Structure 1
Amino acid sequence: MNITITGASGFVGQNLAKYLKDYGNSVCALSLRNKNWNLDENANAIIHLAGKAHDTSNNSDSESYFKINRDLTIDIFKQFLASDARDFFYFSSVKAAADTVEGILEENFKADPQTAYGKSKLEAENYLIKQDLPAEKRLFIIRPCMIHGPGNKGNLNLLYKVVEKGIPWPLASFENHRSFLSIDNLNFLIWKMLQNKEVNSGIYNFADDHNLSTNDLVKIIADVSGKRLRLWKVNTSLISNFAKIGDIVNLPINSERLKKLTESYMVSNMKIKTVLKIDHLPVSAKEGIEKTIKSFQK
């Protein structure tokens, strides 16, 4: 199969390209930074990963999200419709549906994002859905939750540094449950969807099978690192006020980062598992986190 990937130089793109190549596919990396870009005329599928990620420091210009996440997606989808390619995967985000979730997020949730990032992703989704899709083509809108794996930096790396240095985790009083997505499970799902011609166009959440709390993460990190588990239950109001100071001055914790570390955000993956007729994903949530943490030690 000939597969074109945009954003192939990123964390997801590099891992997915290697995974697909290992299964005998030909992968073409398409850089949208080149103004004269064009789709490979031999492509059977386009996986559109390129986009502007959510800036937790809140320093990004709002319009830049729409130019990249919405407008570029529209441009490449137009070429897809004019091509002989069968499948188009648009990597959106669960944040296109909601910034906060009560209960478990499913695909039929009425989307109401509040950030420029989420709104730009949703506007791209809405455009794609409204287009007339030829009967022989398929459109998959993928909404992954937080993706992690070896080589990926982010909040997990921040947690790792705290535990590895023996610093007590001061946010243990926050009780939460979050969904994560191992890069191994992401790769598995994309390949299964490409292979299975019975999968219909639509929106699909991607998440690991089970949720973890931030305290669970700290425990896993301590176990993998061989460090003593140190959980401090500091008053939540005190921590929140400290984070507000971080919004003004450059501190390791600001309100956005605190929210990411302590809020509950549970995502259902039942739709895609039901469609693919699988009971569970190959990598458990705990195994995926352990693999990521071990990579930080190298």
Structure 2
Amino acid sequence: MKLLITGITGFVGNNLSEYLKDDFSIQGVSRSTSDKLISYDVLNKEVLNANKAFIHLAGKAHDLKNTTNEKEYFDVNFELTKQIFDKFLKSNCEVFVFMSSVKAVADEIETILTESQPPKPITAYGKSKLAAENYILNKEIPSKKRVYILRPCMIHGPNNKGNLNLLYNFVAKGIPYPFGNYENSRSFLSVNNLCFVIKELLENKSIPSGVYNVADDYPLSTKDLVLNIGKAINKKVKILNIPKFLLAILGKVGDVLPFPINSEKIHKLTGNYVVSNKKIKEVLKKNLPLSAEEGIHLTIKSFTK
């Protein structure tokens, strides 16, 4: 099967192309043109007709420092998706996978996030992803085509330098973990499990079009996460029970000055955000290849290389 992938040079794109390379003929799509990439400018009907599937990963990532204006998010996450999806609909390409986000639904959740929860995004990032989702969902899909909107939670894996890398640095350097006072549950997603889901969507024609949350099978507390990091690198973990109000002050400092943590990072690491993957598991009729702990261990091992 021949397929096109936007955002192929990014974290998910790199991992996905490596995961699929033995079973698919892959062509990357980008703003620039090279021996391995074609540009959006030449993405015409003929190019799409030559491919069975289109995976749209490219997007404007969530800016933790909040320095990006709203128009930039909508130009990339909505307008680009709209243009690409319109071309897909006019072509013979059969499968479209759009990488959205749980943030298209909610930045904070009190219970467990399911696909039935009414979307109420707060950030420009979430609003732009939801706008793209709505555009796709409001189009009539030809009977021979399949369209999937994926809402992953926090993705991690080899070469990812997100919040897990921050925690890894705490543990690897022997720095005491300061968030011992927090009791929470957060869903994570191993990029290996995400790649597995996408491959199943490409190959299994019986899976109906629709919106699907993607997450590992069960959430972890931040403490469990830190302890798993220590286990992965054979390092004893020191946990401190620093008062929450002091950590909040440090987060505010990080909001305005260069600092390892800021308010949003603290919230991401210690807040609750549990995502149900029941719907995608039911249609796949298969278990995800990695447990939450196994995925974390693979990610952390990659940091040590």
TM-score range, shorter chain: over 0.9
Equivalent position of 1:295 in the other structure: 302
User: Secondary structure of the residue that 1:12 maps to in structure 2?
Assistant: helix
For 2:40 and 2:111, locate their aligned partners in 1 and report how far apart those are by CA, in whole Å.
43
Equivalent position of 2:134 in the other structure: 126
Equivalent position of 1:11 in the other structure: 11
Matched, 1:155 2:160: no
How does 1:94-173 map onto structure 2 within 5 Å? 94-173=102-181
Equivalent position of 1:239 in the other structure: 247
User: Identity over the aligned pairs, expressed in percent?
Assistant: 52
- Once the two structures are TM-superposed, the CA of residue 35 in structure 1 deviates from its matched residue by 5.4
Matched, 1:269 2:268: no
Confirm or deny: 8 A CA contact 1:6 1:32 kept in the other structure: no
- Number of aligned residues: 296
| Consecutive unaligned residues in structure 2, runs of 5 or more | 33-38
How does 1:217-232 map onto structure 2 within 5 Å? 217-232=225-240
**RMSD between superposed Cα atoms in Å:** 1.1
Confirm or deny: 8 A CA contact 2:179 2:241 kept in the other structure: yes
Matched, 1:36 2:33: no
Matched, 1:69 2:74: no
Confirm or deny: 8 A CA contact 1:171 1:262 kept in the other structure: yes
For 1:186 and 1:226, locate their aligned partners in 2 and report how far apart those are by CA, in whole Å.
27
**Counterpart amino acid of residue 259 in structure 1:** H
TM-score by length of structure 1 reads 0.97
For 2:8 and 2:254, locate their aligned partners in 1 and report how far apart those are by CA, in whole Å.
34
**Counterpart amino acid of residue 291 in structure 1:** L
Equivalent position of 2:36 in the other structure: none
Matched, 1:25 2:33: no
For 2:125 and 2:301, locate their aligned partners in 1 and report how far apart those are by CA, in whole Å.
31
Confirm or deny: 8 A CA contact 1:69 1:124 kept in the other structure: yes
Confirm or deny: 8 A CA contact 2:30 2:40 kept in the other structure: no
TM-score by length of structure 2 reads 0.94
Confirm or deny: 8 A CA contact 1:168 1:232 kept in the other structure: yes
For 2:42 and 2:160, locate their aligned partners in 1 and report how far apart those are by CA, in whole Å.
28
Confirm or deny: 8 A CA contact 1:30 1:37 kept in the other structure: no
Which stretches of structure 1, 4 residues or more, deviate above 3 A after TM superposition?
Answer: 32-35
Counterpart of 2:293 (choices 278, 286, 292) is 286
Q: Deviations over 1:173-214 (max 9, x none)?
A: 111111111111111111111111111111001101111111
User: Secondary structure of the residue that 2:213 maps to in structure 1?
Assistant: strand
For 2:128 and 2:108, locate their aligned partners in 1 and report how far apart those are by CA, in whole Å.
17
Confirm or deny: 8 A CA contact 2:29 2:40 kept in the other structure: no
User: Secondary structure of the residue that 1:65 maps to in structure 2?
Assistant: helix
- Once the two structures are TM-superposed, the CA of residue 286 in structure 1 deviates from its matched residue by 0.1
User: Secondary structure of the residue that 1:258 maps to in structure 2?
Assistant: helix
User: Secondary structure of the residue that 2:125 maps to in structure 1?
Assistant: helix
